[in-house]
Amino acid sequence: MNHKLITFSLIVLVALAACKKKQPDPPVLSTDKAFISFTLEKELNPVLSETVSAEIGTNEILLHIPKIAQREELIASFEYKGITVFLDTTEQVSGISSNFFNQPLSYVIHAEDSSKTSYSVTVTWVPEPGPVLPHIFIQLYDDHQIGDINKENYITGYMEIDGKGKYDIYEGELEIKGRGNNTWTLPKKPYRLKLTEKASLLDLPAYKDWVLLAEYLDGTMLYNSIPFKTGHLLDIPYTNHMFPVELTINGEYQGVYTFTENKDVGEDRIDIGADGVLLEMDSSLDEDWCFVSDKYELPVMIQNPKSKNITEELFNEIKDDFEQFEALLFEDDFPNNEYLNYFDDLAFVNYMIVHQLTLNQEINIPRSTYINRPVGEKYNMGILWDFDWGFGYSLTREHFDMSAVNAPLLGNQKPGSLFFQRLMSDPHMKNLFKDRWNWFKTNKYKELKEYVSEYAFTIQPALADDHALWGERGSTGNTEQDLQKVLDWLDARVSYIDGYISDF
């Protein structure tokens, strides 16, 4: 009986076991966690001239990155085995996440089985072949974005200048705002910089105020190199210095800019003395103290003394003094009167050589046309400023177009043109212009062309990145072709001036 019971129980147990569903084996989780590839794509990183591919070792990523990108955030593209990639506590997305590679980085890959492996990043910073431009980095405070910058109010921030071994490195706080009239309406914006403390930047004398010119109107980015170098070759006082630089704001690359001094009256800048007079003839008439002159209806704004130091009495004194000089040009006995007791002839012909060579139409309207008078001295034309509408641009809407190269500088009925035509009608001025021009052509013109060629060579490595952001803007896209176009235009303009003075 007991045997039967035991047998029956065994049969029941076997049957019950057979009725249970068979459980599946637990999944096998992958332990794979490794980088397959790691690159810095040129398309995602405009500062790079070509894509950088890493050497991937055991728990190490080896990169050779051009030194020009040392202060830039860079976007990495990568393939890997695993579930996720983290940098500290931040998940990384290929082709999207950006990081500074000038600091220690360690990527962590998580596998399916929750295991992890780390890759440390080792960077070798490679000097760029050929010339490199100083690079200005500006980081805006208070979460301000680039689009917040306006012409009315300064925004605070921090600036670093990497001199690329040629100039001293600078770091310090600053304020930045927009500048310019027509140029401020263009896509690539010009800026004014104000340092918290005076500093020497790019070997220039220490000041607080500086300017970044965008040069959006011409993609060769050569036109400002010409008039200011010509001014230096002619020894025109207070002529600005032009330094091509690259600009990055809030980690966003902005292209090639021209760094230069602000138009400050003072020692090492416009050194006419605190009580000297600096006037700007400009049709905008947007300064606090301005007037339209009596005889030639010139729009005149007082730039120095500063607005806060001008009284109604001082304003009338400055206005009356200028109009007394202007009246001498208007009189029937001109040029056989005492007008040269008030006006420097050599300063004038030097100024006119620069504007004739560049065909700068600004002086006709006039706009950005400066005249200064140190206390107790004569009126002098200058400073030089604003050549956006030079080189035929106002005639053809494109700089260095050969169809405009033989256009006369003066000759219309606008106030500036009438004023300067009157001065150039004096036989003494004609003869002095002719002598000075022949001296410049013989002794300095070759040096000017060499300088422009050197300038073109200097900006060449960065020009493609600027064009990628803002378009070619009249450039051929080839630096050598651009340079030849500019030099051909200058040679043709020199021939025009030779013919112009042959009638004197």
pLDDT tens digits along 381-416: 999 999 999 999 977 778 999 999 999 999 889 999
Answer for the pair 161, 170: CB distance below 8 angstroms, yes or no.
yes
Domain residue spans in the chain? 34-126, 135-261, 277-501
Q: What is the pLDDT of residue 47?
A: 85
Measured CA to CA, the distance from residue 199 to residue 205 in angstroms comes to: 8
Alpha-carbon distance 122 to 103, whole Å?
10
Summarize the confidence of residues 459-479 as an average pLDDT. 93
Residue (of 117, 112, 73, 119) closest to 96 by Cα position: 73
Averaged pLDDT, 119-124: 95
CB 348, CB 339: distance < 8 Å = no
CA distances, 336 to each of 121, 211, 370, 381 (Å) = 79, 42, 25, 21
Taking the domain 34-126, which CATH number applies?
A: 2.60.40.2340
Q: Is the peptide bond before 335 cis (omega within 30 degrees of 0)?
A: yes
**pLDDT-based confidence at residue 442 (cuts at 50, 70, 90):** very high
pLDDT, one tens digit per residue, over 250-301 is 999 999 999 999 999 999 999 999 999 999 999 999 999 999 999 999 999 9
In the prediction, which pLDDT does 216 show? Answer: 95
Measuring CA to CA, which residue among 399, 428, 414, 411 is closest to residue 488?
399
pLDDT-based confidence at 1, cuts 50/70/90? very low
Instruction: Tell me the helices (H) and strands (E) count for the chain, helix number first.
Output: 9, 23
Beta strands in 282-404 (DSSP E): 290-292, 299-304, 369-373, 380-381
Position 17 scores a pLDDT of: 52
| pLDDT over 50 (residue 121) | yes
pLDDT digits (tens, 9 = 90+) for 47-82: 888 999 999 999 999 999 988 788 889 999 999 999
- The residue ranking higher by pLDDT, 128 or 340, is 340
Q: Given a cut of 60, is residue 84 above it in pLDDT?
A: yes
- The region of weakest confidence among 10-24, 194-208, 413-427, 433-447 is 10-24
Residue 367 has pLDDT above 60, yes or no: yes
